Amino acid sequence: MRSSLRDARVGVVGATGAVGSVTLGLLRDRGYENVRVFASSRSAGRRLGAWTVEEATPAALSRGDVDVFLFSVGTGASRVLVPHAVAGGAVVVDKSSAYRLEPGIPLVVPEVNPGRALEHDGILANPNCCTIPLTCVLGPLHEAAGLTRVRVATYQSVSGAGAQAMERLRGEPPVDHDLRMDWDFDGEEFDEESKLRSETRKIMELPDLPIQATCVRVPVMVGHAEAVWIETESDLAPEAARALLAEAPSVRIEEAPSPGKAAGIDDVLVGRIRRDPTVEHGLALFLASDNLRKGAALNAIQIAELVLQRERTAA
């Protein structure tokens, strides 16, 4: 492990996808100089800016010449490839859902549970793109007033479904635009909805938090939004919640957040904070964030940086 962030040898696996290309841009912006890019055999040899894509084979990933791998491939590919990267001595931040709920594997949102990043055995998991901004907002509110109940309706952009879905929307006449629910069922809800529940509980270390989501895909290119209702143990006035969130890391107050306003920026936008008059201690709010950045690539880089920082300090 090298001694500074910029020197760290970083491997981006799944570099040709929507999240992979945002990852490369962010690494460039942050001054990383030792970046290598990996993808499937289909893309091997292809040029990606200054980089040439290498094939992500078990052999290539286990060679021990990379400090941190950032994985943004499908769950199946992660299950196959991540163990090889770890066997080679690298730390892996995996963006798929393969390892998120596995006991002992840290699931990290650096603004919420940074300490967990220091307890890894080689693999750290990056949460779902809706869970990350949600926990950034819930964290400070829970600390202040104690969450007792959460309900979320999502407005998720097509980039969350990958580059092909973006291509489809680009070619679709507006009259054909529709809401979609393109997830698999996990019992009577979508796996996207159960992920949001389980991951939020794990990150916030509230294993019994009552939480339900209704997930919906909207014909927007980039940026996920969420309509949220929370209930708390003690009273939390909207003004107090607003003040807490104005001070919260990676959160910015915005009167009416939208994907368009959130796309391309790092912060989670939150607004429309008001009383939920249907219960005693309830609030309603609306948030939006860039699902490719804070919802995926950026959060994973932040996790990697927590790990690299620790290694540097320990060295």
Catalytic positions, written as ranges: 129, 224
Q: Could you write out the DSSP letters of every residue in 218-263? A: -S-SS-EEEEEEEEESS---HHHHHHHHHHSTTEEE-SS--HHHHT
d(CA 250, CA 114): 13
If one asks whether residue 292 binds a copy of itself (CB under 8 A), the answer comes out as: no
H helix or E strand, kind and range, residue 151: strand 147-155
Q: Which of 83, 284, 309, 311 binds a copy of itself (CB under 8 A)?
A: 284
Please, which contacts does 248-254 make with residues 24 or more away whose CB atoms are closer than 8 Å?
Answer: 248/111, 248/136, 248/137, 248/139, 248/140, 249/111, 249/136, 250/111, 250/136, 250/294, 251/111, 251/136, 251/137, 251/140, 254/288
Interaction residues for a copy of itself, span 242-271 (CB under 8 A):
256, 258-261
In the complex, what is the shortest distance from the CB of residue 212 to a copy of itself, in angstroms, rounded to a whole number? 5
Q: Which of 48, 219, 265, 281 binds a copy of itself (CB under 8 A)?
A: 219
Indicate the DSSP class of residue 97.
Answer: S
Q: With the C-alpha atoms ordered 295, 296, 297, 301, is the resulting torsion angle positive or negative?
A: positive
In the complex, what is the shortest distance from the CB of residue 279 to a copy of itself, in angstroms, rounded to a whole number? 7
If one asks whether residue 146 binds a copy of itself (CB under 8 A), the answer comes out as: no
Site string for a copy of itself, 155-194 (x = CB under 8 A): x-------------xx-x-xxxxxxxx------xx-----
> Percent helix, strand and coil across the chain, each rounded to 5?
35, 25, 40
Indicate the DSSP class of residue 40.
Answer: -
In the complex, what is the shortest distance from the CB of residue 31 to a copy of itself, in angstroms, rounded to a whole number? 29
If one asks whether residue 18 binds a copy of itself (CB under 8 A), the answer comes out as: no
Nearer to a copy of itself, 95 or 224 (CB): 224
Stretch that binds a copy of itself, among 12-20, 54-62, 88-96, 284-292 (CB under 8 A): 284-292
In the complex, what is the shortest distance from the CB of residue 27 to a copy of itself, in angstroms, rounded to a whole number? 24
Q: Which of 117, 119, 133, 121 is nearest to 306 (CA)?
A: 117
Stretch that binds a copy of itself, among 10-18, 46-54, 67-75, 277-285 (CB under 8 A): 277-285
In the complex, what is the shortest distance from the CB of residue 244 to a copy of itself, in angstroms, rounded to a whole number? 17
If one asks whether residue 236 binds a copy of itself (CB under 8 A), the answer comes out as: no
d(CA 39, CA 17): 9
If one asks whether residue 238 binds a copy of itself (CB under 8 A), the answer comes out as: yes
Residue 63, both tokens: 């060679």
Q: Which residue stretches of the chain are H helix? A: 18-29, 58-61, 75-87, 131-145, 163-170, 191-204, 238-247, 259-262, 298-314
Binding footprint of a copy of itself, residue count (CB under 8 A): 47
Nearer to a copy of itself, 69 or 155 (CB): 155
Nearer to a copy of itself, 115 or 171 (CB): 171
d(CA 126, CA 18): 16
Nearer to a copy of itself, 38 or 286 (CB): 286
Q: Which of 227, 240, 253, 265 binds a copy of itself (CB under 8 A)?
A: 227
Report the interface residues with a copy of itself, using CB under 8 A: 149-151, 153, 155, 169-170, 172, 174-181, 188-189, 210-212, 214, 216, 218-221, 223, 225, 227, 229, 238, 256, 258-261, 272, 274-279, 284, 286, 288
